[in-house]
Chains A and B, each alone.
Chain A
Amino acid sequence: MTNMESQSINIPFSKHILGNQLQVIIHEDHACKLAAVNLWYHVGSKDEVAGRTGFAHLFEHLMFEPSKHFGTTYFELLQRAGGQINGSTSTDRTNYWELVPSNALELALWMESDRMTHMLPSLTATAFETQREVVLNERRQNYENRPYGLAIVALTEALFPADHPYRWITIGAPADLRNATLADVRAFFRQFYHPANASLTVAGDVDTDAVLDLVNDYFGACPAGEAPPVVAPAPARATASRRILEDRVELPRLYSAWLTPAIFTDGDADLDLASDILAGGKPSRLYRRLVYEERIATDVSASQNSRELGGFFAVSVTAVPGVGLDVVERAVASEVAAFAREGPGDDEVARAKALTETAFVSRLQRVGGFGGRSDQLNSYNVWLGDPGCFTRDLDRYRDATTQSIREATARHLLPEHQVTLSVVPAGRTDLAVAGSDVVVVS
């Protein structure tokens, strides 16, 4: 039960550490007859190396293949029990979850523990080959065949140095995926998929003592692994660059991006609020000027992408027909500079905070799934070492001031470190920001 009208958010939980180092978080809430199982492995594409990219995500696919004690795909038994199942891989972590009617909690724990303990021997070459094709098709569908879909590839290559693991996107490079072998994948599993690199949350209509017994029974026998090495690249500092990507699009789009602080560090929440004030909705500065008044753009957006090893802030603006990106870039640059100089107004900050607070409570309505309470508990546990950081997290936003937002912007969104990417229709490099170099990505 939370009470937003007062100042603190109370999501009751208990945290336990099994003998094999598995961290277990249990949260009871009996409002719905649902139980959520949410398991984070602290591994993502940041743990890959150049030339061998896409492994973490490819492995996520393999985790839905048969394991030793269930001969079907991961979905069969859980869907039969009325469960919903999914997983995702980011640069920093891989998460898996089941949302089941609470009477089927034990099944979900049995399944999740079986693949943690017994996945490897069951993995076949056929399953591996098929999932590699599936992932190549996922990449075609979500990046290669989608308008502006490869911009993120060009953008991260411009932002991060060659030896930084954020230089490649999580789905990886097609050539690396094709070169991956079953042996690679087995080694990857051994290094990262074990209790000492995992955080398990069980939440919803459950009994804490009973859950603890079940978790001990099912996960307790999984051998502890060794904590993987900490990935700590040298702090990245982007040098200003201007690039062009030609794409199958009619309207050119400008991306302006800067490296920014890591998730939960100083400035992260300020820049999140700044992204809303700059480009969130009609009252935002960029929408008002570029779309509503000057009518040189048809859409604007901005985001602070908060990540473990460092964030990046990106503004994107699609031009209207007949307008080149030079004009758009000048307008964006002048708005960002004015914002960094003068800061936001009191009313702008108040609105951004109010919207953040509502979105925060809205996410807490769900016990399972991406961003639900169980996922949040794991997120705080993995990033901050304490699952109960709800109030602390929201307070980062509540405590932000016009001054702190201005300072974060002034410190991090500097023209001398700005990466500019012009995505233009094929053959129309004349629409790009002047002085840009053509890049080719695939």
Chain B
Amino acid sequence: MSRREPPAARPGQPVVFPPVTRIRLANRLAIWFVERRQLPFVTVSLVVPAGSAIDPIDLPGVASLTADMLDEGAGGRSAIEIQEAFGRLGTTLNTEAGSDAVLLSLSVLPRHAHEACARVADLVMRPTLAVEDFERVRTLRLNRLRQLRDSPSSLADQAFVQAIFGAYPYGHQPWGLTQAIERMRIEDVAHMHEAAYQPSSCTMIVVGSLEPGDVARIAESAFGTWKTGSDPIPSRKMGSDTIPSASRVILVDRPGAAQTELRIGHVAVPRRTPDYHALVLLNTILGGQFVSRINLNLREQKGYTYGAHTAFDFRRLAGAFVLQTSVQTDATADAVRESVNEIAAIRGERPPTTQEIDFGRATLTRGYARHFETTGQVGRALAQLAMYDLPDDTFDRFVPGVRAVHADELTTAAERHLHPGELVVVAVGDRVKLESGLALLGLGDPVVTTVAI
């Protein structure tokens, strides 16, 4: 046996996404089911298109506060009784309030699936929304925001979305802003619930060891009486009200900080962009993986950071392109310069090489199967189809789609969607040590600001 050459891979097998059974209840609630028999286990999710992007402009945070209120009293049970009921079924409900949707999910042994769905139905169809519970939950949220104000990464995230999105629906984090949360009333939550929690716009996703017939019966029994209410809230569009920050370098002072938290980026594209496969490949080369250009530069060559990566944050509307890292204070200006140079270079003087493209294609396509190993992963994949209105064959098209991206398409995608001249830099760190270095980057004078969360 020779150790000199790496062993070659045997031929692989194509990844085929499991077949999805789709039915609709009379009230238009969509039910998607994937049968999985490896383990006696079922993951149930409900996708509600009620994320923070539909927060009214003066009420940032109301959508996520509404999601929080669902399990604070429903179907005649108190907050504690609801969680006791889930606990007896061996599960806890996971509520994720994102920008585009609220995702309620839980995993149970199959014998508890029926009961678990009935309890979820209580939450979305029959929440109590009592004023005393609301006051308690609102106080908890305000205290949560106090804790986020101590966290450099939360400050950087909020400063970044505010700077690049302005008044656009993604210009605040789902958890909202203190000033608005303080003003909110239970009526705001009740209105959000009535308008945004409608069977016709929701998708129930079931993955696991059940029969299609079981799923149909469970869904009908739990959600069959869910009535369509008033007109749904119209979703907000990206409009001329977007006011991105005029300054390019935003400095949030954290005296004596042990590191500088950095975000560098700009507004990019929605998930449904026709350039999706090209952008995924481009990002893999630029900053999506350990061996991508930016991490190799900032971590493996310079040792400035524990890690640096970039992402196109694909959402329903145009999300951000963002580089995210946390670097040692005295390397901050250098790290920003290197980052901006890497982003500029990949669409200019150093376009992706043939080797990088081969590598990116290989890593993305050969490892694709591992994204669909568990019921939770398959459920999450289906939730993306629901959240972003993607075609049924999205996952089967990924591997051939990435393989088919040509070098010139990558160049075009980089030119279209990376804009070095529009990059906004957010730095949360020790102003005294950072300000002069950042001023010399040629991105304009740093604007020192505070971040309201």
Contact = CB atoms under 8 A, between A and B. Distances in A.
A365 B375 contact: yes
Interface in A118-140: 129-138, 140
A361 B109 contact: yes
A354 interface: yes
A123 B68 CA distance: 52
Interface string B121-160: 0000000000000001001100110110111100000000
Contact of A365 (B39, B299, B302, B303): B39
A358 B80 contact: no
A221 B41 CA distance: 43
Given A134-B305, A134-B306, A282-B79, A145 B290 contact: no
Contacts, number: 222
B7 interface: yes
Given A103-B9, A145-B152, A251-B146, A31 B79 contact: no
Nearest to B257: A145
A82 B365 contact: yes
Nearest to B301: A130
Contacts of A73: 290-291, 300
A79 B40 contact: no
A73 B152 CA distance: 31
A137 B38 contact: no
A129 B303 contact: yes
B370 interface: yes
Interface in A3-36: 3-5, 31-34
A100 B90 CA distance: 32
B183 interface: no
B323 interface: no
A178 to B, nearest CB: 13
A101 B90 contact: no
B38 A365 contact: yes
B109 A76 contact: no
A147 B80 contact: no
Contact residue range for chain A?
A: 35 or more
Interface stretch (B10-18, B162-170, B234-242, B387-395): B10-18
Contacts of B146: 250-251, 321
A361 to B, nearest CB: 6
B301 to A, nearest CB: 7
B274 interface: no
Tell me which of A136, A288, A350, A365 has the highest count of chain B C-beta atoms within 10 A of its own C-beta.
A365
B370 A79 contact: no
Contacts of A361: 39-41, 109
B107 A358 contact: yes
Contacts of B91: 355, 358
A107 B10 CA distance: 10
A15 B13 CA distance: 29
A187 interface: no
Contacts of A135: 306
Interface stretch (A290-298, A308-316, A381-389): A290-298
A391 interface: no
B143 A101 contact: no
Contacts of B80: 282-283, 288, 292
A174 to B, nearest CB: 10
B350 interface: no
A4 B40 contact: yes
Contacts of B19: none
Contacts of B84: 283, 347, 351
Contact of B304 (A137, A354, A357, A368): A137
A15 B291 CA distance: 35
Contact of B150 (A129, A147, A218): A147
A282 B259 contact: no
Nearest to B11: A103
A298 B151 contact: no
A180 B41 CA distance: 48
A368 to B, nearest CB: 8
B1 A81 contact: no
Contacts of A217: 1
B258 interface: yes
B384 interface: no
A138 B327 CA distance: 9
B147 A351 contact: no
23 contacts: A2-B39, A79-B363, A80-B366, A82-B368, A101-B366, A103-B9, A103-B10, A110-B3, A137-B327, A144-B259, A146-B152, A147-B150, A147-B151, A250-B149, A250-B150, A282-B79, A282-B80, A318-B147, A321-B146, A354-B87, A355-B91, A358-B91, A365-B374
Given A130-B300, A362-B41, 6 more contacts: A79-B359, A129-B303, A137-B326, A249-B147, A250-B147, A291-B140
Interface of A: 1-5, 31-34, 69-70, 72-73, 75-77, 79-85, 99-101, 103-104, 106-107, 110-111, 114, 129-138, 140-142, 144-147, 217-218, 248-251, 281-283, 288, 291-292, 295, 298, 318, 320-321, 347, 350-352, 354-355, 357-358, 361-362, 364-368
